Structure 1
Amino acid sequence: MNTTNPMNEKTGLLLFAHGARDPAWARPFEAVLAQIASQRPELVVRLAFLEFMSPGLEEAARELVSSGCRRIDVMPLFLGASGHVRRDVPPLVEALRQQHGPAVRWQLHTAIGEHPAVIEAMAGATLDWLNTAAPTVKPS
């Protein structure tokens, strides 16, 4: 079964993270990829990085297109609308549009960190830590 949109196009998901020189940095993003893949096995999903790590955006996009995806959602795995998200990512996605032509539709989404569920999850994790691990601070 393919994930399709209302136009019956095979849909892919491209998770796009910054990247770092330390390979351990990618583990949380790989975990996100694994959870999505396990919960939506019909979805073609790839993880790509802006710099320092592989695959890059073009390589992951090429894999999605080669697998038959005709609509590709690009989800920036950034905590906020940083300079990369505002200035660098839109031209990169536009280059993919130009490269692959009108046969593939690209949808760039807002940074994941701006999603209410992510904000709620970060606040919840912090509150859990405060409630279980943080020492009580007494006023002076």
Structure 2
Amino acid sequence: MNILLLIAHGSRREESNLEIESLVKKITSLNNEEFDSVIHGFLEFASPNIEEAIQKCSDMGASSVTILPYFLSAGVHITRDIPEEISKAYAKNPNLKIKIANYFGSRDEIAEILIKTALDIK
């Protein structure tokens, strides 16, 4: 079983965290069967945290987890914090194959999405 784990920052504001849950539902609806399930986790301020989310993947029977960082730039969270949290979780789940996709903001299409967003004035 291959699970896509979307990692977001997390917020003290619950509405922001609910947006991530909604995004996971949208990703699930677009999934082309590459992933058996799509779930989310948070770096901080919300649950499940990364370690809990990876444990959930293991509990669901995953053999492979693809981590998708939902971040715009390669700051300290991408370069240090997330890899450290994944390492901690892997130590508890060494049978999982964990892959880390590039962060969202690294995509060339982000400029096009930003222009579309700027033009989408309500």
Match in the other structure for 2:64: 71
Match in the other structure for 1:138: none
1:44-97 Cα deviation digits (max 9, x unpaired):
111111111111111111111111111100011111111111111111112222
In the alignment, is the contact (CA less than 8 A) between 2:51 and 2:88 conserved in 1?
no
Local SS of the residue matching 2:115: helix
* Aligned pair partner of 2:38 in 41, 45, 51: 45
Change (3 A) 1:28 1:113: farther
In 1: Cα distance, 2:100 partner to 2:41 partner = 14
Match in the other structure for 2:81: 88
Change (3 A) 1:119 1:96: farther
In the alignment, is the contact (CA less than 8 A) between 2:69 and 2:103 conserved in 1?
yes
Q: How many residues align?
A: 120
In 1: Cα distance, 2:58 partner to 2:111 partner = 32
In 1: Cα distance, 2:23 partner to 2:73 partner = 17
In 1: Cα distance, 2:18 partner to 2:110 partner = 18
Q: TM-score, normalised by structure 1?
A: 0.76
Gaps of at least 5 residues in structure 1 are 1-9, 134-140
1:24 aligned onto 2:15: yes
In 1: Cα distance, 2:108 partner to 2:18 partner = 23
Q: Which amino acid is the alignment partner of residue 106 of structure 1?
A: I
Name the Cα RMSD after superposition: 1.8
In the alignment, is the contact (CA less than 8 A) between 2:51 and 2:86 conserved in 1?
no
- If asked which structure has higher relative contact order (CA below 8 Å, sep 6+), I would say 2
Query: Where in structure 2 are the equivalents of 1:48-127 lying within 5 Å?
Result: 48-101=41-94, 103-126=95-118
In 1: Cα distance, 2:77 partner to 2:67 partner = 14
Local SS of the residue matching 1:74: strand
Q: Which amino acid is the alignment partner of residue 77 of structure 1?
A: Y
Q: TM-score, normalised by structure 2?
A: 0.87
